[in-house]
Structure 1
Amino acid sequence: MPEIRPIKDLRNTNEISEFCHERNEPIYITKNGYGHLVVMSMETYKKKLAKAELYEKLAEAERDLNKEDELLDAEVVFERIKKKYGRE
């Protein structure tokens, strides 16, 4: 369940910091009842960023696979490499 707190709770910096580090989850901060900020530890941020980058790379790979006319046959590629570098 996401942790949602009003902006006034940011005054309790130690409590916010401990929560973020202990649970490895972000805290959603509201202002006047609406979403305003997200606070999280650096470790959580790095993990979430790495995950987002991974999903972006997977989406790019999937887009490439959907372009079947641009795909190369593995045997053709290896033959070209053998010819270029003269190895069998």
Structure 2
Amino acid sequence: MPLIRPIKDLRNTSEISEMCHKKREPIFITKNGYGDLVVMSMETYESQLAIVGVYKKLAEAEAQISEGVTLLDGEDVFKKLRKKHANK
């Protein structure tokens, strides 16, 4: 369940910070009863960015498949990577 707090609660920054780290999810801040801000810990932010990055890469891969781009064989890719890193 999302955490929703009025903007006046931002006066207590330590409490907001503690909630962000404890719940590991964004806190939605309202102003005059309407959504205004989202506050989250750096860890949560970085996690969200990573998830967005994965979805972006999946969308790119799906677009390539629909365009008929030739797929790489996974085993061949891993063999080349192992060989490349074994020589270092």
- How does the TM-score come out when normalised to structure 1? 0.77
| Cα separation, partners in 2 of 1:73 and 1:45, compared to 1, 3 Å | closer
Please show how residues 11-30 of structure 1 align to structure 2 within 5 Å.
Answer: 11-30=11-30
1:45 and 2:41 are equivalent in the alignment = no
Q: How many residues align?
A: 74
Runs of at least 4 residues off by over 2 Å: 71-75
Q: In the TM superposition, what is the alpha-carbon distance from 1:73 to its structure 2 partner?
A: 6.9
* Unaligned ranges ≥5, structure 1: 79-88
CA displacement, residues 5-54 of structure 1 (integer Å, 9 cap, x when unaligned): 11000001111000001111110001111110000000000000110011
| Cα separation, partners in 2 of 1:9 and 1:66, compared to 1, 3 Å | same
Separation of aligned partners in 1, 2:71 and 2:11: 60
Find the residue that maps to 1:28 and give its secondary structure: strand
**Which has the greater radius of gyration?**
1
1:64 and 2:64 are equivalent in the alignment = yes
Give the equivalent residue in structure 1 for 2:80.
Answer: none
One-letter amino acid of the counterpart of residue 9, structure 2: D
Percent of paired sites with the same residue:
62
| Cα separation, partners in 2 of 1:22 and 1:67, compared to 1, 3 Å | same
One-letter amino acid of the counterpart of residue 4, structure 2: I
Q: In the TM superposition, what is the alpha-carbon distance from 1:72 to its structure 2 partner?
A: 2.9
- How does the TM-score come out when normalised to structure 2? 0.77
Separation of aligned partners in 2, 1:59 and 1:28: 28
